[in-house]
Structure 1
Amino acid sequence: MSATILNQHLHSHGLDLITDTHKYRKVVALRPFNKGSVVITSRPLCNPIIFPTHRAQHCETCFKTKGSNSSTSATAGGLGLERCSVCKKRYYCDRDCFTVAWKGWHKWVCHDKDMEDLDYEMLKMVVISIERLRNGAFKEPKQSGVATATTAAAGSHGTGEQESLALTEYVFSTLMGHEAIADPVEISKYKEIATKIREQLIVAKFPFKSESSRGEPPSVAELMRYLCRFHCNNFSIHDSQLFTMAEGTFPVGALFNHSCRPNAIVMYEGQTQVVRTLEDIAVGQEVCTSYVDNGVQRAERRQLLRGKYYFDCLCPRCGDGESSETAEKAGFRILDDLIEGDQDGEDGKKVDGEWLTKQFETIILPGARSLQVAGPSLQPPTMITRSSFTSYLIHSLVPLIQTGATEQSYMERLFAIYDALQTTPHCTPKPFTTTVMTNATSFFNTSLEHQSWALASKIGTFILALYLMIYPRHHPLVGLHCFTLAKCLWNDVEGGMTSVRLSHEILKLSRNILTVSHGRTGQNASLVKEIETFMRTVESELG
């Protein structure tokens, strides 16, 4: 296996891997990609690690969720899971999945009490996976969750070579581990874990039969390199609603660099990682995903990226000022200045429900028709309050998404909004900081719990305005929030048919966004279908 084979694989998907002075290397498009396209899929190097708190909800082999619809379900209530009778800690949806797991890895970890440690578990799984691949013991199950999900995802982007296990291992060997600059305390911990695993595999008589292993497990130094690569390149695996439930190593997916304003998103179909475009991507343009939450302040993002991935972000939102600064960089620099701030509440007092209720009760919900047609740029309000901010952002940006405006048109409008927010007087505390967003989100969830639908609708609309200000317009977080907001509006009896009509419009917005991030085929598409089913319910009420 060589770089030539990797390039051939990427080329078959319309991608190229080229060197870069600042980033080491980057993935660029060899052909245009429309928004919502599957750029490529990536398979895990070894079986991903489901968090202990989520094990009872997911099959360890195929990642199907307990209670989900399945033709193999044993009960009418959906998919049932049974746990391993020996360790009683891992769950499987049927005997086929258990057999795959037992032969592939579980018999070597079932009795290991140290498997509760994530680093230990991942390293041991990586060693087992690589050796079984090298000695020819690994056989891809014909109907495995990986194979099925890969086929489903591939259907939405045409032809492209399927990733081989040998390619997966090769790409993993090329990933950066940054051992030389890693925290010495962490390195010491990795050495301890590596030593323990090597000794345990020898005692367990794991069959190292490949030519490269010569009957011995990898050295402690090599095991430490594996662990460093994992830590610098691992992914948190989430479901269609972005709830994190596992971690895994996806080497091909790790080739994509980070941006705090990404043009692609990482999603998952079972154990298969799917990279989808959030906007149209031109030939020669770099394809970037995001390693951290784009909704946090610049200093926190840079600290997270430096601490885990060992680089200083130079994306349009984070790069240092320079004489050749583009309009895009200047615009995003304004955004990060706008959202900075740690104040919320009145005169330094602790924020409470009564004060927050007063802040959000003044918000006037938009009319459904006002969101359907994109008009000229709106004049900013004379004073930015939570209410005027919400109205300004929602009326300015939502119609552009609903009518499918180009990214250029959308960004021009967004940067004009940034300029207006920077120069227009605002109330105290500043209504669009990440601190305000955090408190609003918490209060929104409280209002949902109390079924205070009218208040929740106003808070949710305010949060939508903040999301549109900060996140890419087709980010799944925006679409998922729209779905929740639409349910609030539909339940808001006080709002009458006005709220029902607005609920329908927000459902359309949710569908438009999630069709891009989740697609129309595969497991994630079920969420889009759920939205469309709810839309029909609302339409029947509208007559």
Structure 2
Amino acid sequence: MSLPHLDVYLESYQLALIDDSNPKKGRCIVALEPLSRGSIITTSQPLATVTLQANRNEFCNYCFKKPQAMSPKVMPLQRCTQCRAAYFCNVSCFKNAWLGYHQFVCKASSTSASNKAASSEDPDTLDAEMLERVALNVGRYNQKEKNDRDAFGEEGERQEETVDVTMEAFLSLMGHVEDQPKNVLNRYKRIADGVLKKPYIASLGLSQQQLVEFLCWFQCNNFSIQDNQMFTIGEGTYPVASLFNHSCRPNAVAMFDGALLNIRAIVDIPSGEEVTIAYIDAAHSRTVRQKTLREKYFFNCDCVRCTDNTFFGQIDTMLGEEETDWDRAQRVLDPSNTKDNLRQEIAKQVEGDSWDLLEMCRIYDRKSNCVPKPSKPLTLSTYAHCFVQFFSPYLWSSHNPRLLITSPSLHNYRAQVDRLEDPQPPAARPPVRDTADEILSTSISLALSYPTYPGALIPYRLSTLAAATSYFYDMMADGHWENSVKIGMYIAIQYCFIYPQYHPIMAQHLLMLAKASWNSIVQLELLHHGRALDKLYDNGFRRWIALSKETIQSTFGKQSDQWREVLELEWIFMREQKLK
């Protein structure tokens, strides 16, 4: 298939769409030049978007941005005065939505039965809305004269994504129509027939079969649109972004700026390497990931996480299997079930006397070559404090040595926060390898070398992580900040195994850990009537702030709410340091 506009567009971003050497994968996007970590590899405009009903009064239904409540210059969302169901941030967004689709669906709320149907969040309604909007754009494109279509941009310059680029990408997608179950195809035919009954769709000249194919493409290619806190607020058809293949250990991520999707590098990508994103959360067992990918995307993943001949494959050996829906139902029905005791055991270990945060930090200090006794199972505390010696900051400094600068000026408070008091990797005890891959490989082998007992808590299991994450949020909500720091450290270690260190989920968690650490310091100072706390508390806070900044700027960027939050937290700390 000839894709001249798409090929030129991708080439302007130093990318190429080529046939993959693995015929099962079809096509892939590779880097034509080295791509640096944190850079926006390319952008993707939506062919169509749908806001989830629960969010329609919070986000602009066209640009998907949310007014900043604290800004006096920003107007609140304005509701369409006729249908009273759609919200827009300004006249420009309303006009664009009106020209695109809103003119066809905007009806007086008192007489529109369709608005009542749209109030539900059922899949048929969302799929029908998406299908209508895509059909409108495809139909208009088909009716457009070729000489009225977009011209090619200047060679050598990054180009804007034109309608021709978007449509070429969309019409080249795979929907695996022949692989879809019969009941799914019947459902799609029913939705397509309902959409074709509407005059503005029927006039486009599209057939039921074409609409069914579009629905199949949605299932295999659509994205969940997320706000700046990574909560899902809508669905979108992003043809250019859909060209990127999946990996459970991706080198790029899809990040949203309103309705615009950015593909951002989270590692340095050399020339000639494929650029990949994750279609599903990597914090699932291999069994669950493979099942989801087969059922939704119709392929068997053979990435480095899904094969046993790489150390990444050992991560799934560590994580084990996760709870099924049946397991969760059994726990609800039978509270005495031993699996429900997992959270109780976590609370016991975190809140008990055996986990003294200061004492554990002194024992595992990166200078004493201290590891837990090899004859005893790992506990949450020994696991977290042992592996923080290997991971923080060495996983990050293997990509950015600036993090290991020591002996900051006593008069430069910003430098005190940015710089961590850690030995260089060759001098660290226990020994730390020089590269991130070597650090992970060594740590996986060490974790798996410890004995485990049936029925006992195993720190690196997914079931433990799931229960610990719930406990973490509960501790933060209840203001138990020292416990939040403890369990937050443990979760950070787990994330170091599961995600690349510059992944947005890692960045988000490090920011929460920094907040918990600061609140813990304030809480402890109040309990100690303002007496100076041990320096280790400040050092811990510095660490999480520095790693938050390092990770956030490469994932969310310096224009994000996360960057503003971490700078405010840093400023508060520096102010308190000056006052002391």
- Please give the TM-score of this superposition, normalised by the length of structure 1: 0.85
Question: Counterpart of 2:81?
Answer: 85
What residue in structure 2 maps to residue 132 of structure 1?
140
**Which protein is bigger by CA-based radius of gyration?**
2
Output aligned runs, 1:198-217, within 5 Å.
198-200=196-198, 202=199, 205=200, 215-217=203-205
The match for 1:494 is 524
Please name the residue that 1:423 is paired with: 449
Q: What residue is the counterpart of 2:390 in the other structure?
A: 396
Matches within 5 A, 1:366-385: 381-382=373-374, 383=376, 384-385=378-379
Alignment map for 1:261-280 (pairs within 5 Å) = 261-280=249-268
Distance 1:505 1:445 in 2: 21
* Secondary structure of residue in 2 paired with 1:519: coil
The code of the aligned residue for 2:314 comes to I
CA distance 1:501–1:102, shift in 2 (3 Å): same
Q: How does 1:36-435 map to 2 (within 5 A)?
A: 36-46=38-48, 48-68=49-69, 73-74=74-75, 80-111=76-107, 112-113=114-115, 114-115=117-118, 117-135=125-143, 159-200=157-198, 202=199, 205=200, 215-319=203-307, 321=308, 325=309, 329=310, 331-341=311-321, 348=338, 350-351=340-341, 354-361=344-351, 362-365=354-357, 381-382=373-374, 383=376, 384-405=378-399, 409-426=435-452, 428-435=456-463
Secondary structure of 2:279's aligned partner: coil
| Partner of residue 505 from structure 2, selected from 477, 495, 500 | 477
CA distance, structure 2, for counterparts of residue 190 and residue 240 of structure 1 = 32
Q: Which residue pairs with 2:8 in the alignment?
A: 8
Contact 2:131 2:214 in 1 (8 A): yes
- Counterpart amino acid of residue 576 in structure 2: E
Alignment identity in percent?
A: 31
Say which is worse superposed, 307-316 or 379-388, in terms of deviation.
379-388
What is the DSSP-based 3-state SS (H/G/I as helix, E as strand, rest coil) of the residue aligned with 1:56?
coil
- CA shift, 1:132, in A, is 3.3
Which is worse superposed, 97-106 or 220-229? Answer: 97-106
Alignment CA distance shift 1:353-1:451 (3 Å):
farther
Unaligned runs of 5+ in 2: 108-113, 120-124, 146-155, 324-330, 401-432, 526-532
SS at match of 2:27: strand
Shift of 1:359: 1.4
How far has the Cα of 1:503 moved from its partner? 2.0
Q: Aligned partners of 1:425 and 1:287: how far apart in 2?
A: 39
- Return closer, same or farther for 1:471/1:88 CA change in 2, 3 Å cut-off: same
* Paired letter, 1:51: L
User: 1:293 and 1:41 mapped to 2: Cα distance?
Assistant: 21
Distance in 1 (CA, whole Å) between partners of 2:159 and 2:339 is: 59
- Aligned partners of 2:6 and 2:164 also within 8 Å: no
Cα deviation for residue 429 of structure 1 reads 2.1
Paired amino acid for 1:502: G
Partners of 2:343 and 2:24 lie apart in 1 by 47
Matched, 1:520 2:547: no
Shift of 1:352: 6.9
The CA deviation at 1:59 is 0.7
Q: Which runs of 5+ in 1 are unaligned?
A: 75-79, 138-157, 209-214
Shift in CA distance, 502/133, structure 1 to aligned 2, threshold 3 Å = same
Structure 1: how far apart are the matches of 2:336 and 2:503? 33
Q: Residue 300 and residue 353 in structure 1: after superposition, are their counterparts in 2 closer, same or farther (change >3 A)?
A: closer
Using the TM superposition, give the Cα deviation of residue 170 of structure 1 relative to its aligned residue in structure 2, in angstroms.
Answer: 1.2
Cα offset, 1:457, TM superposition: 1.3
TM-score, structure 2 as length reference: 0.79
Would the alpha carbon gap of residues 489 and 471 (structure 1) be closer, same or farther in structure 2, given more than 3 Å must change? same
Distance 1:121 1:70, change over 3 A: farther
Contact 1:380–1:420 (8 Å) recurs in 2: no
Contact 2:549 2:566 in 1 (8 A): yes
Residues 435-514 of structure 1: matches in 2 within 5 Å?
A: 435-492=463-520, 493-494=523-524, 496=533, 498-514=536-552
Shift of 1:99: 2.2
Count of residues in correspondence between the two structures? 496
Aligned mates of 1:333, 1:294 — CA distance in 2: 12
User: Once the two structures are superposed, what CA deviation does each residue of 1:283-328 show, in whole Å capped at 9, x if it has no partner?
Assistant: 1111100000001100000111111111111111113x5xxx4xxx
- Whether the 8 Å contact between 1:378 and 1:396 is mirrored in structure 2 is no
Distance 2:242 2:392 in 1: 33
Contact 2:60 2:88 in 1 (8 A): yes
Q: Residue 83 of structure 2 aligns to a residue in which SS?
A: coil
Give SS of 1:463's match.
Answer: helix
- Give the alignment partner of residue 537 of structure 1, picking from 545, 550, 572: 572
Once residues 377 and 192 of structure 1 are traced to their aligned partners in structure 2, the CA distance between those partners, rounded to angstroms, is: 66
1:70–1:130: structure 2 CA closer, same or farther, 3 Å change rule?
farther
Structure 2 counterpart SS, 1:242: coil
